[in-house]
Amino acid sequence: MATADELKRAAGEAALSHVEDGMNLGIGTGTTTEAFIRLLADKVRDGLQVTGVATSERTERLCRELSIPMATLEELPKLDLTIDGADEIDQSLRLVKGGGGALLREKIVAVASRKMLVIADEAKLVETLGAFPLPIEINGFGMIATYLAIQEAVGELGLSCELILRRRGPEPFITDSGHLILDASFGRIPDPHALSNALLKVPGVVEHGLFLGLADEALVATASGVRHLT
Ligand code: 5RP
């Protein structure tokens, strides 16, 4: 029986064959992506030429430690490929992301990329999105008003959710862009597009972790091999 770490590594390894010499690469955040980054660093040491753009400070630090050439999105505003993890993936390659709190930069980088490849272990595959709490990045100003406005917007869709302010220890979790995160537990999200539109109408919402129409392919590691979803 493969462990979760072995599956993450297998997904990362499969992703390497999608990386071509000379690519400008968006590099995601999370433990699966970290497995990929370590394997990528070996290839770079062996002569592969790529330039990475990180989706978080954490990823930036790891890539630099491992001597992967890095640039900012300002320097490279168009990328060939982004490789990133996910918290949930459905049959239509719709994703919930942001478990690591990097959803805003992850979405900006994914949109700037010609292609987004998701890497994950099979535990991330779901019939319906929503069992994993949906991260919603909000501005700190008027946090309670935003909280109430989200509840109202969600209620108008006939949904309800528990909204919890993410913390790091006793303090609120602060994203790389200086915002807060509300984790919204829906149980299931029957219409992700409707929820996305409703959330983005709330002015204090900066972004949410629903990635709809962004992922082009996914490499999902299972006990019997890596499945390629398109
Ligand atoms: C970070 C993310 C991650 O990609 C997601 O949380 C999956 O992480 P992991 O590979 O550790 O399970 O969206 O914001």
Rounded CA separation 112/160 (Å): 33
Q: Is 30 helix (H, G, I), strand (E, B) or coil?
A: coil
| CA distances from residue 183 to 39, 96, 99, 150, 186 in whole angstroms, order as listed | 31, 12, 9, 12, 10
Q: Which atom of ligand 1 is nearest to the CA of 99?
A: 6
- Which of 6, 29, 181, 207 has most ligand 1 atoms within 8 Å of CB, for mutation? 29
Reply yes or no on whether 106 is catalytic. Answer: yes
pLDDT tens readout for residues 142-194: 999 999 999 999 999 999 999 999 999 999 999 999 999 999 999 999 999 99
Find the 33 Cα to ligand 1 centroid distance in Å.
8
Rounded CA separation 25/6 (Å): 24
Closest CA to 37 of 6, 79, 68: 68
Q: Which of 106, 127, 152, 171 is catalytic?
A: 106
Q: Are 195 and 157 in contact (CB under 8 A)?
A: yes
Rounded CA separation 21/8 (Å): 23
Banded pLDDT at 1 (limits 50, 70, 90) = confident
Q: CB within 8 A of 217, min separation 6: which ones?
A: 18, 93, 115, 116, 117, 118, 228, 229, 230
User: Across all residues in the chain, what is the average pLDDT?
Assistant: 98
Banded pLDDT at 75 (limits 50, 70, 90) = very high
pLDDT tens readout for residues 56-65: 999 999 999 9
Ligand 1 proximity of 133 Cβ (cutoff 6 Å): no
Q: Which atom of ligand 1 is nearest to the CA of 32?
A: 10
- Does 84 show up as a binding residue in the annotation? yes
pLDDT tens readout for residues 6-58: 999 999 999 999 999 999 999 999 999 999 999 999 999 999 999 999 999 99
| Count of helix runs (H) and strand runs (E) in the chain | 6, 15
pLDDT tens readout for residues 221-230: 999 999 999 9
